Chain A
């Protein structure tokens, strides 16, 4: 497609030069590099409801880390703290050793994070391509020619080549999730977070999504955090898994260690999510 460069296009973009022409990007737009995350004694309450209780976690650079547990145990709230959508009552979160809530850091924060929301959170007024390129265009990161190339590349990574002109309303649930992932990838994030990625998806689509995330794990060097109550999904994808219960991390380990855990809360969760309801055992 011919890049937009006529008068009306320039007028619509306020004659800002970086968006119209050129194939270059800002110096800071580097490839993804996995980051380390330390969560220290994190606490959060909403009124009388103590949602997070002294949460401590260490996540290694490039690791795929899942947080599992029943609904209402504080998994998504924890995720929102990492992307600064919530502020902790106490405790801190360090990314590459830097406190993310430090207003005046000694060294400027040199990492990008992105989140794939449970509802995908795509913008209905924009096409698939416009959704994916939103951050690049709004932040004036690259020239228009390069942006279009990045959009195509990110959509290819999630298996949605040539879908950039589709409206988001025309997409299935699984495709929406993949567009949301492509939108996140357009930032070249060092950290990507998935909030209940398989929620509202059928098993076949969940499997497709798992393959997309697995593929990304191979092709892109980034740290991944997945919050899910889909045990199989988390165990399949993750290097390590933590289980949360009642606002606390009650178990942490590799998928094999979690499967063999003797912690009654973990066993109960595994049993109910793989066998059936708790009442069937009695």
Chain B
């Protein structure tokens, strides 16, 4: 297998984009809590798209076609918490027309966010992203492929984004594209180490404990370091990933987000 040679800058840029895009997409609330403390606009919009394509045939555009259920009014039959909503959507309701849906975590977050905010959500003016156009941007003008792989095709120093649509919510992807440094999550911070003999190692951290750190370096080597053997060790909070806030129009951002959300891994 031939290893691609990459510059530090491109590696770090890749790591940074990964940083922004590959943190596990856990729900914004923990098990047992009733509602997320905050629902984000991008998640609500994503949920609106899914609702329109998957749910309106039974529930209607206003979510009020099932007797006893009115989503816009916040009226449910058997739902108390957001987890209840997720459970009902995932498992269906036996004996009714409500079938189980196999949505990923990001989709569930979107649908729940939309259902909780349907009463105040205004679909007019909603930018619908086009994943096909988004892929063109990802491969071309966005230059994302210089750092990110998709299902094994591309460099390894940054996380593979092939399943990013299942790992990250729409809101987190949106925020990352606009402000990659501000939204970089701790799990994705690049590291810089200098050994006692002066060897410099830059890379993306894969694991760390009190005594050791494991990383993939610029040459795509898996490296395990013992901290006591290091002269310097820094977890960086900056990122070379560019912001796309001024680079792309709102429609282009929506397209790119739609493409990233469409990446669900190898089936």
The answer on A and B forming one complex is no
| B interface residue numbers (CB < 8 A to A) | none
| A interface residue numbers (CB < 8 A to B) | none
